[in-house]
Structure 1
Amino acid sequence: MPDDTLPSLLALAKEVAVEAGREVLRIYDSGDFSAYQKDDDSPVTSADYKANDIITRRLEEATPNIPILSEENKHASLAERKKWPRYWLIDPIDGTQEFIARSGDFAINIALIENNEPTIGVIFWPPGQTLYYASKDHGAFKECPDETRQIHVRKLEDPKRSVVMIAVSRRQSRDKILSRMNAKRIYQTLPLGSCSLKSCFIAEGKADVFMRIGITGEWDTGASQCIVEEAGGRILAANFEPLTYNQRKTLENPDFVVMGDQRVPWQDIVQYHKE
């Protein structure tokens, strides 16, 4: 019988993410891949499909009783998904556009969702050979070739006045995000690619906040949410309502915000409005 305790499932997810990530990096370095456009106009590559094959095969072999929901697989209906007490939630490559653009800002995302809540989060950044991971109530960690350490969000010296570091997209207008922030605060910006890497940088204290405006899926936030929250931060919809998993017909997320230091009055800072 497979060991399905949280520590063993975390170890499995870490191993699988690294295996898939190494293959993705090999493809990235070779430049030998094909890019396509999906029905929703988002990009996908042969590397996404290869990573998806590795992850789904390994998880199916090791945990045959745990369903898998991946961005690149056919999605089960809500009626079927509602029967799942837990499932793997996968984004084989988060940051496909960055992979194509060769910025290096892409990652492998694996989460375990139990009772509609992320309880394991694993994010592997292949070009940096860096693994971020967390499990519920056991903290968040960063593992790279020269160290493994527990990570925490940055504590601002003065939560109401300190300069706030905003992680911003390489592909979206910086002004678009700053227009949704309280103009009375002072900000610095840190350009990055994938959603999950921005979240990891907040979890380890390199940035303080990130707002995502635009279409994402639940697989874009599952692993990040576990890591960020175990590091002392939060991920919420941009209207400050909780994100949901496996509770709606659509798997699309609302616009969302990732926040570090919870002493900061984020609802005074993030002035969200829909376009």
Structure 2
Amino acid sequence: MQWNDEIRAEVCSLARQAGEQILAVYQSDFSVEHKADASPLTEADQRAHRTIVAGLSALTPQWPVLSEESGDAVLAQSRAWGRYWLVDPLDGTKEFVSRNGEFTVNIALIEHGFPVWGVVYAPVLDVLWEGGVGMGSRREAAGDSVLIHSQPHRDGETWQVVGSRHHLSPETLEFLAPLGENLNLVSMGSSLKLCLVAEGKAHLYPRLAPTCEWDTAAAQAVVEGAGGSVNTLQGERLRYNKPDILNPWFVVSA
């Protein structure tokens, strides 16, 4: 099976289904566990994971799936994959636990080390972003679907910058120092930050703190489809399926 609009629509629907599973837990008195790295884990992560993996495996059985919750054995196998789905079933579990609504479902299609398409869905906001290089990107909310385009900074404008709510590192602040007071910095969680750059509401998102590949792939596709870029500090396009699942530091630019 080749990539087509039917798959695109089905995967967007799958992201929404996962979002429904997440909201069912979000509205309950849920418990929180912790992984070996001390990051939080809830029933919502697991439900969304099962929904997405089962759905993708049925839709495109020839394309394997790597989810944040897949485990080390699948992660090791994925190094040999050329085309595969990369999933964060609940990006922003800390935001979920604190109940601030700033979490997303992320599903990306990776080919030869780069995201070619991705969907990001924010269940509480009921907003979906999807797109990829050569396909354009769009934002779907309240029944309306509109094309989105990143908006580069113009001389004289205040820099609109987004940063991590929990990982606004000293290195990030040092990176932003040359902008002086000519910036408006808004902190938030999950892939929402990249989506704001994609839709033209922010010029810049520097991430000089740890992230994993599943945290960024889907939103990177949306940003690139909208005309923006996601590059390392060396100016190289952020890539995937590396020996290390951790991303290098990067900058999202309109």
Which one of the candidate residues 177, 181, 185 is aligned to 2:176? 181
Of residues 163, 166, 187, the one that matches 1:168 is 163
Q: CA deviation at 1:83?
A: 3.4
Instruction: Kindly provide the amino acid, as one letter, of the partner of residue 9 in structure 1.
Output: I
Corresponding residue of 2:246: 252
Candidates 196, 209, 216, aligned match of 2:211 = 216
CA distance in 2, matches of 1:78, 1:99: 25
Residue 73 of structure 1 aligns with an amino acid whose one-letter code is S
- For the residues of structure 1 that align with 2:67 and 2:179, how far apart are their CA atoms? 41
Provide the rounded CA distance (Å) in 2 between the counterparts of 1:77 and 1:103: 32
Cα deviation for residue 76 of structure 1 reads: 4.5
Partner Cα separation in structure 2 for residue 70 and residue 15 of structure 1: 18
Number of aligned residue pairs: 253
Where does the alignment leave 5 or more consecutive residues of structure 1 unmatched? 261-275
Aligned-partner Cα distance in 1 for 2:7–2:133: 12
Which residue identity does 2:23 align to in structure 1?
Answer: L
Tell me how far 1:152 sits from its aligned partner. 0.7
Q: Does 1:12 align with 2:6?
A: no
Q: 1:103: how far off? A: 0.8
SS of the equivalent of 2:27 reads helix
Indicate the larger mover: 90-99 or 6-15. Answer: 6-15
Report SS of the residue matched to 1:100: helix
Q: Which among 128, 131, 138 is matched to residue 131 of structure 1?
A: 128
Q: Look up the SS of the partner of 2:102 in the other structure.
A: coil
Structure 1 residue 215, shift from structure 2 partner: 2.1
2:151 is aligned with 1:157: no
Task: Quote the residue 2:119 is aligned against.
Answer: 122
For residues 238 and 108 of structure 1, do their structure 2 counterparts lie closer, same or farther at Cα, with a shift above 3 Å needed? same
Conservation of the 8 A alpha-carbon contact between 1:4 and 1:63: no
Q: Could you tell me how far apart the structure 2 residues matched to 1:145 and 1:210 are?
A: 26
Query: In 2, are the aligned partners of 1:95 and 1:105 still within 8 Å (CA)?
Result: yes
Provide, for residues 25-45 of structure 1, a one-character-per-residue CA deviation record: whole Å limited to 9, x for no partner.
Answer: 121122x32211111121111
State the Cα deviation string for residues 106-157 of structure 1 (Å, max 9, x = none). Answer: 0000000012221111000001100000033110000011421000112433
Say which is worse superposed, 172-181 or 199-208, in terms of deviation.
172-181
Contact 2:35 2:41 in 1 (8 A): yes
SS of 2:16's equivalent? helix
Q: Is the 8 A contact 1:6 1:135 kept in 2?
A: no
> Aligned residue for 2:20?
22
Asked if residue 39 in structure 1 is aligned to residue 36 in structure 2, the reply is yes
Q: Check 1:183–1:247 CA distance in 2 against 1; reply closer, same or farther (3 A cut).
A: closer
Q: Secondary structure at the match of 1:180?
A: helix
The separation in 1 between residues aligned to 2:176 and 2:145, in whole angstroms, is 34
Is 1:97 matched up with 2:94?
Answer: yes
Greater displacement, 128-137 / 185-194: 185-194
CA contact (8 A) 2:167 2:209 kept: no
Residue number among 47, 50, 57 corresponding to 1:50 in the alignment: 47
Mapped contact 1:18–1:124 kept (Cα < 8 A): yes
- Asked if 1:235 is matched to 2:230, the reply is yes
1:221-254 deviations in Å (ceiling 9; x for gaps): 1101110011111011233233221132x21111
TM-score (norm 2): 0.92
RMSD of Structure 2 on Structure 1 (CA): 1.9
1:225 corresponds in structure 2 to 220
> How far apart are the structure 2 equivalents of 1:75 and 1:10?
28
TM-score (norm 1): 0.86
- Structure 1 segments of 4 or more deviating over 6 A? none
Alpha-carbon separation, structure 2, partners of 1:182 and 1:239: 19
Deviation per CA, 1:29-84: give whole Å up to 9, x if none. Answer: 22x32211111121111110110010001111111111001111124477743432
| 1:72 aligned partner, one-letter code | E
